[in-house]
Amino acid sequence: MFRFLSRFWQTSVVGTFLAGLFFLLPVVLTIFIIIWLVRWIKDALGPGTFFGELLLQSGKVLVGREYEVVAFALGLLIAIVGIWILGLFVRTTARKGIENAFDAAMDRVPFFRSIYKPVARIVRFASGEQNENELAGMSVVRCRLGSLGGVDTLALLASPQTYELDGAARKLVYFPTSPIPMSGYLLFMPVENITQVPGMQVEQLMKIYISLGALAPENMPAEFIAGPKNIDDIAEIVADLPVVDPDVHK
């Protein structure tokens, strides 16, 4: 039966079609992801949104109100150039001093600071520009969802603080989502379901989520990879294999 199915797969019209489909599938999925990202950016920055109106109004100052499409494109170009100039300025000056001054200004806004501070911590931690003293408790962890044999997922321990909810010890864990890790969620996880992953950096965790898992083999800790880890391990396995005398089967 298996031989028949294998031959049908290799010779039939359906098998040939599926072979071509699976060959093109990575390209198609890549296009779908790009389209999804473009739509997400449009919903956040497109005309009719808060930021979109800012871009539109800044462009209208230069070209007038009659050319909205040109004004929006010009406003977007101004924003891109402005962000690039800001990045150039930050990279060539005392970055920490600017960040500290900006954070201090944001800290004076009562409601805004409660949202800005945790968001700034996550973004800087993901980009590798975190303050080590401030974010010493944030680390990559492996969380077990369910009992033994359940699902495991990689997440980010928000802080070393332990909370007690209904008599159970729990920690606050941030779960990123793919392909945009910043749009994740927070859960109070039982302490016994959390395991530290000391051999993994936050940048590696973010690469896995952004790539939809495609870059997992290159960024996972060595102990997570099944099978031989290096050439020496393979040599030891081969050396342990039984030697078969070819004359026995003659």
Q: What percent of the chain has pLDDT over 90?
A: 8
Q: What is the pLDDT of residue 15?
A: 66
249 within some domain = no
Cβ atoms 169, 162 nearer than 8 A: yes
The whole domain housing 15 covers 2-45
Check whether residue 144 and residue 69 sit in a common domain. no
Determine the 3-state secondary structure of 48 from DSSP: coil
Evaluate whether 28 touches 34 at the Cβ level (below 8 Å).
Answer: no
Kindly state whether residue 156 falls inside one of the protein's structural domains: yes
Q: Which residues contact 90 (CB under 8 A, 6 or more apart)?
A: 98
> In this structure, are 149 and 182 located in the same domain?
yes
Structure tokens at 146: 């369910």
**What is the number of structural domains in the chain?**
4
Place of tokens 């080590």: 132
Give the pTM.
0.48
Average pLDDT of every residue of the chain = 76
Same domain, 118 and 192: no
- pLDDT (0 to 100) of residue 111: 74
In this structure, what DSSP letter does residue 128 have? T
Same domain, 184 and 158: yes
pLDDT at residue number 227: 62
Position 185 scores a pLDDT of 86
pLDDT of residue 191: 92
Q: What are the pLDDT digits (tens) for 228-246?
A: 555 555 555 555 555 545 4
Shared-domain flag, residues 19 and 36? yes
| Domain termination residue (choose one: 30, 45, 60) | 45
Q: Give all strands (DSSP E) within 61-167, no chain letters.
A: 139-145, 151-165
pLDDT < 70: residue spans in the chain? 1-15, 47, 65, 92-95, 118, 121-137, 227-250
Give the pLDDT confidence score for residue 139 in this predicted structure. Answer: 85
